[in-house]
Structure formats: C-alpha cells, structure tokens
Amino acid sequence: MTNLETTTVFVYGTLRTNHSNWRNFLAPARGVTATTAPKYTMREWGGFPAVYANGETAITGEIFAADHETLTHLDRLENHPNWYKREEIEVTDSDGNTVTAWMYVMPQSKTQGEVIESGDWNDTIHTLYIGSDHRWRAWQ
C-alpha cells in the first residue's frame, strides 16, 4: 500500500484470503478472522455471497487494512453504491477486540439465493463447489 492512511474493510466472500478476488485486490496481505454481530443474512448468489442487513446471523469473514487506492478498487469491484452499499459496521476480531470496518451490504430490494445459515462462505463453498463438476474453487 502506497498511502500511509488506511481504513479497515471486512470481507466475507471472494475477497477472503486465498479466494479468487483476494489475489487481485488484497494479496499478499492475510486477513484477520472477524465476526459481525448476529444481525445479518448471507445468501448464495452462484459463485459469490451477498450479505443483507436486518437478519439474525453473525457473518464470519476477515478484516484487512486498505489504503485509499485499494478501497477505490474494492468499491469498483463491488459496484458501490449501485450494487453493493459500503456501510461502516463493528466486528469482533479473533482476539476479542471490537474493530470498526467497512462492509459491502446488498440492498433488500435485490434479495435472492439460498440462505447460508452458518454465515460463513467457506462452509458453503466446500459444500457446493469443492468436488463438484463446477469449475470455481476456493484455494485453501
């Protein structure tokens, strides 16, 4: 990262460590495991997840430090604010610390897909994609 000023982003899908978009946008940094409060719903959109506000599930993901340039690239990837909306939330990291971070949330008007009860995309990709005839894989 070239800019010394950073912000924190919470990612829960293809931007997580060793997933497809991580390589293009956040590598070589490794994310720190974090979890939201249980007030969201995660849905499977066929190759990537979407998180919606106003649910009852804690979302598992990772936090990364992101400079302005990286955040701009992530906004473009997530088509913020036209597709996902970037919202500031609080998460709890693996050491129990509360961290303020940006998370990309899907508007309720775009609800579709099966609910991921665990709130963890890694659980779903192993069930739906690994070992199936689908070519997309998480490389963990």
Of the chain, the end-to-end C-alpha distance in Å amounts to: 24
CA dist 124 and 79 (Å) reads 24
Catalytic residue among 62, 78, 87, 90: 78
Q: What tokens does 45 get?
A: 């959109």
* Sheet containing 114-115: order of strands: 49-53, 40-44, 114-115
Catalytic site includes residue 88: no
Annotated catalytic sites, by residue? 78
